[in-house]
């Protein structure tokens, strides 16, 4: 009898020790099988998910089960949790890089072109592109290119999304540790972040690099300052009166001076942190248009919720950001100031340009867009439950999740403002969502919902929680797999398309121009300032594109598979529209000079 019990204990111990790592390793093997079996050329209208077989989904399920098992284990094993989160990130952010033969999207190639210009000329090209008015990120990348002995930045593009997402892990761990959620909820929040980041701002770009700076700055502040315990004086107030008193305390001079928070660190360490933050602020102000303002809002939220002790930081960042806008970026705004301030306060048009205009295209594209909206809505709903269920010492997370919404009130950001709002709030929304499942039970601020009594069902409750974690993370991860790769039918490129672009760059002369049916080509990496790239604005009929190309008459025109897919999936053009466009161009003085299975190059006759 004792032997049976001892065997049972031993097997139970072995499962506890090795189940998580074993499942994680199996998941990683399945990922290699999945990306090896995926055939890029068979990609359909649903994008990446259309070429992924069962090993991908089996592997994703296994890594989520392994993570849920590890996060509910006592004691927690941080090393294995980090390993499992890294594997989860490889699934979500590494698959496209492994399957696509060429880096995507178009903007990453354009950024490589900007960097190439700085490498060659040692300065930016004024008046060429708005992004050149915030050149910090490009300059840093140019320095990295020279330092690494590379000829250009193209080698950095392909695996950049996975690299930068993994570099977010360090500040995310600090944010989770010091944000005032349960330790397990912190780990779960990080997994939810990696399972829900569909925003696609992690390609090779200044915004991806600035998002890292944003996370590092918030992590530093959360780690450095803790809220002081509120001192109660006078008799206890009724519930609503107490709430009003709390709201009034948010805008007292004492709070605004940072006196409601305290740091356990010594003066030298705090000064080092302040110096680091000042450098981060300066770098961010010079390298991205939006991130410094998002960070000003985040720091203000932290000050008002007693998590920032030095209000000077907010003023410093605001002064740097507006100073650079006024002095360094004047090339951008001189003559069209309305681009910056024109959309201030216009909620309806901002919402329209951010959401309504994006819900268009073929049925497959509409489904992808609708899943994106549902995914974001589900996450916000879960975060709302987390807000109601959790006790806390401060409402910093809620304020950090809500603060970015003020950005949309000021700027539509070319129809992308709402995406950025979701992105800047995502780490905090994810931690709140994790608190819906694993809420903190103690704290100065009591939870708004009563605690669920578990009593003698604690063991069963643990199983239910583990299953809930598996369900939530797996559903989010599957949805993100679908929607992140949902644009890949036209945003990812074949080797033939890159060969066509390189062919044109090898033959085009300074002053000549390169045309395409739309924006979706791996183009822009060479000839910045000497060769013009022309793609007509989207029209309701594809014939309009031919008219505009013939009107502008670029020397070379590249027609490709990705351009064709964009026309069919998003613009609603009929199947075979690009072949008809090619015929039109050939009938009007263009001739085919080179051809690949996925791309054709046409040249205008003299």
Partner 1 sequence: MTFIIFADAAALTAPVVFVVLLGVVTLLIVRALGEVLRVPLTPFVSRMLDGSIVTVLLVFIVLVVVRFKIIG
- How many residues form the binding site for partner 1 (CB under 8 A)? 20
Return the residue of 1, 151, 334, 575 that touches partner 1, per CB under 8 A.
Answer: 334
Q: Which stretch binds partner 1 (CB under 8 A): 105-113, 199-207, 319-327, 427-435?
A: 319-327
Beta-carbon neighbour count of residue 556 at 10 Å?
24
Please, are residues 534 and 552 in contact by the beta-carbon 8 Å criterion?
yes
Tell me which residues in 28-67 interact with partner 1 (CB under 8 A): none
Residues 481-540 that bind partner 1 (CB under 8 A): none
Tell whether residue 330 is a contact of partner 1 (CB under 8 A). yes
User: Of the two residues 29 and 337, which places its CB atom closer to partner 1 in the complex?
Assistant: 337
Q: How far is the CB of 422 from partner 1 (least distance, A)?
A: 30
Distance, in Å, from the CA atom of 539 to the CA atom of 330, rounded to the nearest integer, reads: 32
Closer CB to partner 1, 309 or 536, in the complex: 309
Instruction: Please pick, from the candidates 14, 143, 319, 586, the single residue that binds partner 1 as defined by CB under 8 A.
Output: 319
Q: Which is nearer to partner 1, 79 or 327 (CB)?
A: 327
Alpha helices in 72-182 (DSSP H): 78-89, 95-99, 106-121, 136-147, 154-157, 160-167, 169-178
Could you tell me which of 78, 92, 71 has the C-alpha nearest to residue 165? 92
Q: What is the DSSP string of 312-367?
A: HHHHHHHHHHHHHHHHTTHHHHTT-THHHHTTTT-HHHHHHHHTGGGS-SSHHHHH
15 versus 319: smaller Cβ distance to partner 1: 319
| Residue 339 φ then ψ, to 5° | -65, -30
Our CA dihedral for 568, 570, 572, 577, rounded to 10 degrees, sits at: -30
Return the residue matching tokens 């960097």. Answer: 115
Q: 4, 236, 247, 327: which one contacts partner 1 (CB under 8 A)? A: 327
- Closer of 256 and 406 to partner 1 (Cβ): 256
| In the complex, least distance from residue 395 CB atom to partner 1, rounded to whole angstroms | 25
Q: Could you say which of 316, 434, 437, 599 contacts partner 1 (CB under 8 A)? A: 316
Of residues 79 and 334, the one with the C-beta less far from partner 1: 334
Asked if 416 and 354 touch (Cβ cutoff 8 Å), the reply is: yes
Residue 326 is a binding residue for partner 1 (CB under 8 A): yes
3-class secondary-structure state, position 512: coil
In the shown chain, the binding pattern of residues 246 to 275 toward partner 1, with x for contact by CB under 8 A and - for none, equals ---------------------x--xx--x-
Contact 214, 298 (CB under 8 A): yes
Of 274-303, binders to partner 1 (CB under 8 A) are: 274
Q: Considering the complex, what minimum distance in angstroms separates the CB of residue 275 from partner 1?
A: 10
The yes or no reply on residue 335 touching partner 1 (CB under 8 A) is: yes
149 binds partner 1 (CB under 8 A): no
- Min CB(286)–partner 1 separation in Å: 13
What whole-number distance in Å separates Cα of residue 142 and Cα of residue 11?
55
CB nearer to partner 1: pick between 267 and 587: 267
Structure tokens at 111: 């950024």
Q: 31-34 long-range CB contacts below 8 Å, 24 or more apart?
A: 31/55, 31/56, 31/59, 31/87, 31/90, 31/91, 31/94, 31/95, 33/59, 34/59, 34/95
Does 344 participate in binding partner 1 (rule CB under 8 A)?
Answer: no
**Type and span of the H or E element at 516:** strand 513-516
Residue 343 beta carbon to partner 1: minimum distance, rounded to whole angstroms: 16
| C-alpha torsion sign, points 269, 271, 274, 280 | negative
In the complex with partner 1, which residue's Cβ is closer, 313 or 397?
A: 313
Nearer to partner 1, 204 or 225 (CB): 225
CA separation for the pair 197, 214 (Å, rounded): 16
Quick one: which of 182, 310, 484, 603 contacts partner 1 (CB under 8 A)? 310
Query: Can you tell me which of 322, 505, 534, 596 binds partner 1, judged by CB under 8 A?
Result: 322
Smallest separation, CB 91 to partner 1 (Å): 43
Three-state SS string over 200-233 comes to CCCCCCHHHHHHHHHHHHHHHHHHHCEECCCCCC
Q: Does 586 bind partner 1 (CB under 8 A)?
A: no
Nearer to partner 1, 65 or 220 (CB): 220
Angle in degrees, CA 423, 426, 427, rounded to 5: 125
Nearer to partner 1, 1 or 334 (CB): 334
Q: Which of 279, 337, 360, 463 binds partner 1 (CB under 8 A)?
A: 337
| Selected range binding partner 1 among 201-209, 305-313, 384-392, 532-540, rule: CB under 8 A | 305-313
378/474 Cα distance (integer angstroms): 13
Taking contact as CB under 8 A, which single stretch among the options 143-151, 317-325, 429-437, 507-515 is the one that binds partner 1? 317-325
The CB-of-268 to partner 1 minimum distance in angstroms stands at 9
Q: Using the rule CB under 8 A, which residue among 40, 333, 505, 534 binds partner 1?
A: 333
370 in contact with partner 1 (CB under 8 A): no
Q: Which residues pair with 603 in a beta bridge?
A: 556, 591
CA distances from 179 to 186, 278, 390 (A): 8, 22, 12
For residue 342, the minimal CB distance to partner 1 (Å) is 12
Contact 484, 162 (CB under 8 A): no
Q: Report the interface residues with partner 1, using CB under 8 A.
A: 267, 270-271, 274, 310, 312-313, 315-316, 319, 322-323, 325-327, 330, 333-335, 337
């Amino acid at each position: 009898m004792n032997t049976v019990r001892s065997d049972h204990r031993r097997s139970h111990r072995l499962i506890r020790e090795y189940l998580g790592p074993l499942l994680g390793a199996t998941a990683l093997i399945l990922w290699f099988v999945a990306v090896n079996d995926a055939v890029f050329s068979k990609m359909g209208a649903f994008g990446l998910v259309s070429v992924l077989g069962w090993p991908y989904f089996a592997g994703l399920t296994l890594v989520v089960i392994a993570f849920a098992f590890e996060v509910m284990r006592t004691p927690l094993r941080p090393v294995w949790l980090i390993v499992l989160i890294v594997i989860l990130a490889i699934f979500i952010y590494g698959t496209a890089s492994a399957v696509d033969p060429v880096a995507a999207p178009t903007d990453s190639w354009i950024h490589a072109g900007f960097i190439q210009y700085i490498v060659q000329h040692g300065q930016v090209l004024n008046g060429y592109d708005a992004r050149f008015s915030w050149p910090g990120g490009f300059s840093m990348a140019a320095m990295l290119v020279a330092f690494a002995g590379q000829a250009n930045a193209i080698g950095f593009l392909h695996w950049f999304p996975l690299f930068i997402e993994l570099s977010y892990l360090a500040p995310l761990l600090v944010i989770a540790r010091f944000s005032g959620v349960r330790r397990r909820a912190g780990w779960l929040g990080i997994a939810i972040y990696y399972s829900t980041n569909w925003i696609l701002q992690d390609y090779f770009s200044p915004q991806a690099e600035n998002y890292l700076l944003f996370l590092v700055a918030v992590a530093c502040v959360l780690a450095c300052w803790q809220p002081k315990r509120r001192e109660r004086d006078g008799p206890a107030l009724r519930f609503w009166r107490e709430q009003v008193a709390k709201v009034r305390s948010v805008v007292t001079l004492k709070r605004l001076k940072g006196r409601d928070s305290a740091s356990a660190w010594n003066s030298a360490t705090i000064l080092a942190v302040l110096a680091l933050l000042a450098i981060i602020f300066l770098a961010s102000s010079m390298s991205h248009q939006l991130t410094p303002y998002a960070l000003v809002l985040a720091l203000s939220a932290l000050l008002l919720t007693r998590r920032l002790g030095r209000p000077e930081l907010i003023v410093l960042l605001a002064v740097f950001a507006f100073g650079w806008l006024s002095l360094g970026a004047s090339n951008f705004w001189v003559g069209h100031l309305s681009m910056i301030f024109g959309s201030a306060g216009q909620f309806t048009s901002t919402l329209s340009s951010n959401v309504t205009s994006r819900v268009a295209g073929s049925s497959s594209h509409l489904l992808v867009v609708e899943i994106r909206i549902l995914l974001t809505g589900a996450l916000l709903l879960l975060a709302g439950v987390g807000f109601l269920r959790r006790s806390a010492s401060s409402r910093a997370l809620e304020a950090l999740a809500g603060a970015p919404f003020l950005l949309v009130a000021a700027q539509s950001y070319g129809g992308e403002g709402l995406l950025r709002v979701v992105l800047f709030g995502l780490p905090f929304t994810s931690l709140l969502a994790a608190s819906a499942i694993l809420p903190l039970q103690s704290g100065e601020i009591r939870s708004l919902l009563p605690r669920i009594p578990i009593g003698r069902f604690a063991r069963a409750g643990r199983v239910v929680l583990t299953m809930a974690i598996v369900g939530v993370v797996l559903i989010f991860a599957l949805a993100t797999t679908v929607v992140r790769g949902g644009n890949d039918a036209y945003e990812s490129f074949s080797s033939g398309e890159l060969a066509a672009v390189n062919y044109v760059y090898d033959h085009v002369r300074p002053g000549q121009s390169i045309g395409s049916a739309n924006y979706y080509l791996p183009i822009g990496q060479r000839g910045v300032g000497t060769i013009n790239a022309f793609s007509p604005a989207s029209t309701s009929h594809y014939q309009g594109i031919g008219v505009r190309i013939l009107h502008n008459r670029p020397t070379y025109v590249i027609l490709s598979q990705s351009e064709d897919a964009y026309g069919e999936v998003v613009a609603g053009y009929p199947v075979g529209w690009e072949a008809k466009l090619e015929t039109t161009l050939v009938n009007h003085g263009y001739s085919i000079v080179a051809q690949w299975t996925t791309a054709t190059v046409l040249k205008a006759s003299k």
